[in-house]
Amino acid sequence: MEPHNETFMTPAEAFSLSGELALITGGATGIGRAIAQAFVLSGARVVLVGRRRELLEEAAAALGPAAGWAVHDVADTAHVPALVEDVRSRYGDVSILVNNAGHHLKKSIEETEEAEFRRMMDTHVTGAYALTRAFIPPMIGKRRGQILFTASMTSFFGLSRVFAYSTAKSAYLGMVRSLAVDLSPKGIRVNAIAPGFIETDITRKAFEADPARKERVLSRTPLGRFGTTEDVAWAAVYLCSPAARFINGVVLPVDGGVLIGF
């Protein structure tokens, strides 16, 4: 057998996003903002997308000159061509698309109105479809690009009274697998992260109001703590970096072991 002479990348090369332009929906707050920060620290430029201009401006300013922003409601698919033109004219071709924007709805199916269900699907599923379809042509032309989805624990198991949210996030699994098969021969990898119970302002307030639920969550998390947005952000960097160049069509749980806990 011939000796193995493959030249390894250095760690700096393997986890570098230098030269990439990442568009991150829901990028001004929470997990999206943490992903943006980790991407910038890894050498990428980022475009933060969201509905609230003031939050986008503040987040981009905090991230520095490598960050820009564009106002867009992901549920407004009619506006997608204008967004693409705006981003391309101001920043260039997007090479990483992070479909992260979303909203939560804590209701059972009996309580969920059809308009609420449609809004959930429009935001998560139809919005991600429209953005992916619109931003992949330059990636296909250059035969390189990354698509990343933010899935959820509800993509894998049932949680009470989140029917519409769980339906939308579960759809991401099919999107990731199908897109990975279709797009990877064209040079585009498609993956997802599935955050577990992550400590944010929203979850902190929710658990303060329900200490018993907090204990239940921690009891089924083998690591015995909540995750941080930074935990999720570095997983996103990995999946979009050269280190993961043979990782395609996966959904990576970032959950402290919740999915394998009993």
**239 found inside a domain:** yes
Q: Which domain covers residue 92, as residue numbers?
A: 13-198+229-254
- The pTM of this model reads 0.94
Residue 161 has pLDDT above 80, yes or no: yes
What is the DSSP track for 193-250? EEE-SB--HHHHHHHHH-HHHHHHHHHT-TT-S-B-HHHHHHHHHHHHSGGGTT--S-
Catalytic residues: 165
**148 found inside a domain:** yes
Tokens 């935001």 sit at which residue? 123
Task: Find which of 115-119, 208-212, 232-236 is predicted with most confidence, using mean pLDDT.
Answer: 232-236
Residue 2 has pLDDT above 80, yes or no: no
Considering only 9-18, 74-83, 97-106, which range has the smallest mean pLDDT?
97-106
Number of domains composing the chain: 1
**211 found inside a domain:** no
| Amino acid, res. 12 | A
- What is Dmax (Cα atoms) for the chain? 65
| Helix-helix angle 53-63:30-41, to 10 degrees | 30
The pLDDT value given to residue 205? 77
| Cα 75 to chain centroid, rounded | 16
Residue 98 has pLDDT above 60, yes or no: yes
The pLDDT value given to residue 3? 56
Task: Find which of 96-105, 175-184, 193-202 is predicted with most confidence, using mean pLDDT.
Answer: 175-184
**221 found inside a domain:** no
Residues 6+ positions from 244 with CB-CB distance below 8 Å: 189, 191, 238
Element (H, E) at 45: strand 45-50
**Structure confidence by residue, pLDDT tens digits, 245-258:** 999 999 999 999 99
**243 found inside a domain:** yes
Residue 160 has pLDDT above 90, yes or no: no
**22 found inside a domain:** yes
| Amino acid, res. 210 | D
pLDDT band of 105, cuts 50, 70, 90: confident
> What is the chain's alpha carbon radius of gyration, rounded to the nearest angstrom?
19
Mean pLDDT, the chain, whole residue set: 93
Using the Cα atoms of residue 32, residue 105, residue 149 and residue 84 in order, give the sign of their dihedral. negative
Contact at 8 Å (CB) between 222 and 261? Answer: yes
What is d(CA 138, CA 117) in angstroms, rounded to the nearest whole number?
33
Query: What CATH number is given to the structural domain containing 174?
Result: 3.40.50.720
Residue spans of alpha helices (H) in 3-148: 11-14, 30-41, 53-63, 80-90, 114-121, 127-142
Name the nearest CA neighbour of 183 among 239, 243, 142, 151: 142
Residue 201 has pLDDT above 80, yes or no: no
**Structure confidence by residue, pLDDT tens digits, 29-76:** 999 999 999 999 999 999 999 999 999 999 999 999 999 999 999 999
For residue 229, the SS3 value is helix
What is d(CA 19, CA 105) in angstroms, rounded to the nearest whole number?
37
**82 found inside a domain:** yes
pLDDT band of 162, cuts 50, 70, 90: confident
Better-predicted residue by pLDDT, 127 or 220: 127
**218 found inside a domain:** no
